[in-house]
Structure 1
Amino acid sequence: MNSRAESWTPARMRRVAVVAPRPALREVLVRVAEAGCVELDRGVDDGDEAPGPAARRLRSLGAAPVRPLLSPTPPDLDALRAQGRADLLAGEEQLERYQRAAVPHGAVAALAGWCPAADVERLGARLADAGGAVVPLRAPGGVDPPTRLSEAGRVRRSMVPLVRTYGTVPYTDIDPTLPAGVAYVVMFGMMFGDAGHGLLLLLGALLIRSGRLRRWPALRPAWPFLAAAGGTSVLAGVAYGEFFGPTGVLPVLWLDPLDEPMRLLGSAVAFGAVLLAASYAAGIVNRWREGGPARALYAASGVAGAAVFLGLALLACGVLLRTPVLAGGGAVVGVAGLALAGTGLFATSGGGAAGALQTGIQLFDVVVRIGSNTISFARLAAFGLTHAALGSIVWQGTTALAGAGPVAFAAAVLVFVLGNALTFALEALVAGVQALRLEFYELFSRVFDAEGRPFRPWHVPTQSRTEVTP
């Protein structure tokens, strides 16, 4: 699989067995933990058996949870307890659980798990020095591998939390990280359309990138995402002629939100329809990957739902343009989509009168949801209008005070600065939340029909590596 195809799918997983000679099992597992690329079947929280020696000594300390560490060589557990080294005891406790879970076979022991295909060879070379090996296995039937989204590149890495906040992408589905991130920042920019405010957000992103905000190091990976949101806000502000409000610094290149609200509203709904069409396309691909062509055809988030959406769109265009042929074609396509969706829904309802009633209700919900979800994108225009209105109020107050003497001029500067600060904070919060709401409820609800299981590799650093880290 080439790199371009891999960028649209979760990381490919391999079912593997970590095999080691019994005397070298501890050393091999320490290397697995340090590599941090294998999710072993036996989780570290599975405590059905009696606690091991390290676990008993850790509990006797009564210490708060700590970041586990592992010693490269077997430590003296009593010495660790005497020194209060809860971190090393916590690491040994996890190691004990995996050692007990290892399946013995003659002179060797093995643990099964999942590993990204790209890391299998590197892990095998790492374990070979200790006498261990990584053996590929056949994936068990009916079990999907865990999902790990690609974080290659700063831009993609900054957008991954957007998808993870919604849920875990199923392993068989496409990875929507990049298109979802682009859709989010464009919607944010439409609502936060002011070139001055966008430049402030862009400068904030560059400040985060510089690392000077040391109190919030967790924000640094998100700087490309924030910079993209600031960039789209600048572009929208240029189109609207907004620079810290209607100051006249920029000419109106497209439309003035306050002068042409209906045009902005229509554009927002049309843009939302394009995003919905894209989400249906992704949904069709995902349904095919999840259950084959039949599922892709009959699912309400597959071809059937897309046909209903297309039919309603053509019908609406035909009515607005007074084109009976277009409206009639839309009606036919929409009815065909409802028939397909109804067939799929009835097949899963159990049949009979109750199944038919349930199917009818679900089909009604499909139609209502398509209409309401499309209209929901009108909020892109509504909050864009709100931003423009607040900017206009601040600018009117500023100009009214500016020509009334030195004291009033100072008051005008204060009104301009504080008013824009309040508008920036309020609208950034509102636009961020509303873009997230549209992303999750209108788009992701069609892209995803199930939830995957996140890839949780076992990773515990060794003490020696930690000591040399600055």
Structure 2
Amino acid sequence: MFRPLEMSRVELAVSEQDIVAVTEALAASEAFHPTRTDQLSGGSGPNYGEKWEEKVPIFTSLEQRIQTVMEALDVDEGPPPSETPHLIEPDLAQRDVSRLEQEAQAPARELEEELCRLSRLRSQIKQLQTIAGLEVDVDELRHMRYTFVLLGTMPVANVERLQTSLELIPSVLVTLRRDNHLATVALFGTQRDAEILNRAARSAYLNPLKLPETVRGTPVEAIAALEESIKRTRLRITEYEATLERLHQMRVDHLRHLLWRVRASRTLAETIARYGRLRYTYLIAGWVPTSKLPQLEQRIKEVSEQIVVEVEKPSRKDSEHIPVALENPPPVRPFQDLVTNYGHPKYGEMDPTLMMTLTFPLIFGIMFGDIGHGLVLALLGLLLTSRAVRALQGLAGLGPLLIYCGVASTIFGFLYGSIFGLEEALTPLWTHPMENIMDILMATVAIGTLLLNLGMVLNVVNAALDRRWGHVLFDHNGLAGMMLYWSLIGLVVQFFTDNLPFSAEWLFLSAAVSGLAVTFSEVLENLVEGRRPLIEDETSTYLIQLPIEIFETVITMMSNTLSYVRMGAFAVGHGALGMVVFIMAEIVGPAHGPAYWTVVALGNLFVIGFEGMIVGIQTLRLEYYEFFSKFFSGGGMRYRPLSLIPRER
């Protein structure tokens, strides 16, 4: 819980005939994190066994083709199967997919064509309806030898402009219909002036009616014929949809099974292609949590007794390449997700999940202390966790965090005597933030000081676990840094009180000694840990950087401390927002009627939603940038156990 799981490196030598079964067993164990060993390959020419890297694109193509068929039949992927499917040979999958494509693609293609035809017919009817009042054969208008005819629609405002532009050209512009800002017109002229008339029509934004050659008779007759065509098209669409629905019912389970089997086969081929290979023997290497090693070895023995398995413990120098597996109990797992969003701890480094579990609700509660608001957050968290509302199921992971933060806010609500923004309804167990602003600000600075020192202590523990004794003693966040920090705090407090057990002279001496240790931390760390050279850069450059680094260290310590003032500021601001809500309610409904309580309810919902979000962001900022920066590097490698199909972890 305090550190990542202990890992062991496992190496296997597997014969070609067992490689598929062994890989499936490793995936079924859900514990084996593979590493690439293909750089160890030798003798993998065309005469030595299967080419797994060539199977990967084949399975990828098959997966895409299956998804195309599923889309045509409106079949979703469904949940992953409870048992991982076994490898399917590409040739067998090819035949199966081709048969499914022949079944589904023909009716799907025909349906698509009929839908396009229906859209075109509707568009043609819509165009003909604009000239339905013409008692003339459309085909005759289309093939007139000496007369130019142009039917179309144009903006009403441009009709007069077009008539004016054609005053010197023998032509007639007839308005057939007006609808809002659009007019349907017919432009007549001679064929010899066709180019001029078309140019003038385009300049007036006249959009010609585009009717296909198949349209015959008067517009009314053509519309009737098109409506008959629409009826026939709809019947064919119904038939194709029924065919596809029948195929959907017949093939839904088979398609899902085939998709997951091909997908698992692709992942298996990708995994085997990354193994090392010596002719007919495969070399597999990876990491396994030590606690799960016996179960893994048992699974491998069930495949074959001939498999060579070697297990070794990792050395300190390999820590950067060891995957980190975190295993925290369910109550604190939501905070583990917050930690991994920042980064994974390195192997051997402390897991900060427990610290996040303790400090995150504390900081949130200080800034958002209110009994009513906290209970609403907790109830909302319970609702999300229950997954009772389907539309909110995607936010289920946020539920436990809201419960923790809601409970913390409720506790601080009792301490502040605040319920739904009412500051006078209860007697506070501690203080009203609005009435004792300096007290709450100083208290939050004190809490921030303790949290920063906790971070420094954890940094010392991490360095000690890694046996970096120089880092323990002289790092900015090590013992020397802690000594400098407390000396500076003592000097600041000395200005306000004379009751400190240490004199100012001792505090100055302590600050000077620890400051020198922090200033020359690089040299001292290298000296203690036996690294050479003591100064990695040129000496002149190093000396120039020294005063800048100590100045930056002091400023960082002070700014980190003052950052926690925001906890008190938000506590005061939360009370002020509640006061504003009730002032607005008094203005809207002085008689305390429905309007008054409506404003109170809406105002409290706004505070819970808007300020709650801001407080959550500020809490994360204090955790990530002030607290974590003291001890947590977050540069670890994520533990990804082999799985042939995706599982929710």
Q: Which residue number in structure 1 is paired with residue 610 of structure 2? A: 426
Q: Please point out which of 19, 22, 27 is paired with 1:28.
A: 22
Distance 1:348 1:395 in 2: 64
Q: Please point out which of 142, 164, 170 is paired with 2:317.
A: 142
Distance 2:349 2:484 in 1: 23
TM-score (norm 1): 0.87
Q: Please point out which of 445, 451, 458 is paired with 2:642.
A: 458
Q: Is the 8 A contact 2:347 2:636 kept in 1?
A: yes
- Establish whether residue 367 from structure 1 lines up as the match of residue 554 from structure 2: yes
Q: Is the 8 A contact 2:37 2:274 kept in 1?
A: no
Q: Is the 8 A contact 1:55 1:89 kept in 2?
A: no
Alignment of 1:186-335 (within 5 A): 186-246=362-422, 248-322=424-498, 325-335=502-512
Distance 2:373 2:480 in 1: 43
Q: Please point out which of 45, 60, 80 is paired with 1:58.
A: 60
Distance 2:518 2:593 in 1: 65
Distance 1:392 1:424 in 2: 14
SS at match of 2:8: strand
SS at match of 1:215: helix
Change (3 A) 1:50 1:127: closer
Q: State the Cα distance separating 1:106 from its structure 2 match.
A: 8.7
Q: Which residue number in structure 2 is paired with residue 3 of structure 1? A: none
Q: Which residue number in structure 2 is paired with residue 387 of structure 1? A: 574
Q: Please point out which of 156, 163, 170 is paired with 2:332.
A: 156
CA RMSD of aligned residues (A): 2.9
Residues 74-103 of structure 1, C-alpha deviation per residue, up to 9 Å, x if partnerless?
Answer: 423133245454543333233223334434
Q: Is the 8 A contact 1:80 1:88 kept in 2?
A: no
Distance 1:20 1:41 in 2: 15
Q: Which residue number in structure 2 is paired with residue 95 of structure 1? A: 268
Change (3 A) 1:401 1:252: farther
* Farther off after superposition, 326-335 or 307-316: 326-335
* Farther off after superposition, 196-205 or 442-451: 442-451
Q: Which runs of 5+ in 1 are unaligned?
A: 1-6
Q: State the Cα distance separating 1:225 from its structure 2 match.
A: 2.8
SS at match of 2:327: coil
Q: Is the 8 A contact 2:52 2:270 kept in 1?
A: no
Change (3 A) 1:440 1:248: same
Distance 1:17 1:394 in 2: 66
Change (3 A) 1:82 1:381: farther
SS at match of 2:637: coil
* Farther off after superposition, 325-334 or 166-175: 325-334
Q: State the Cα distance separating 1:326 from its structure 2 match.
A: 3.9
SS at match of 1:320: coil
Q: Which runs of 5+ in 2 are unaligned?
A: 39-50, 69-76, 98-257, 524-533
Aligned AA (1:142): K
SS at match of 1:135: strand
Aligned AA (2:26): V
Change (3 A) 1:105 1:305: same
* Farther off after superposition, 95-104 or 306-315: 95-104
Q: State the Cα distance separating 1:158 from its structure 2 match.
A: 1.5
Change (3 A) 1:103 1:411: same
Q: Is the 8 A contact 2:433 2:575 kept in 1?
A: yes
* Farther off after superposition, 127-136 or 394-403: 394-403
- Establish whether residue 122 from structure 1 lines up as the match of residue 298 from structure 2: no
Aligned AA (1:241): G
**Which of these two proteins has the greater Rg computed from alpha carbons?**
2
Aligned AA (1:335): A
Change (3 A) 1:178 1:239: same
- Establish whether residue 356 from structure 1 lines up as the match of residue 543 from structure 2: yes
| Paired residues, number | 451
Q: State the Cα distance separating 1:367 from its structure 2 match.
A: 0.3
Distance 1:141 1:447 in 2: 19
Q: Which residue number in structure 1 is paired with residue 527 of structure 2? A: none
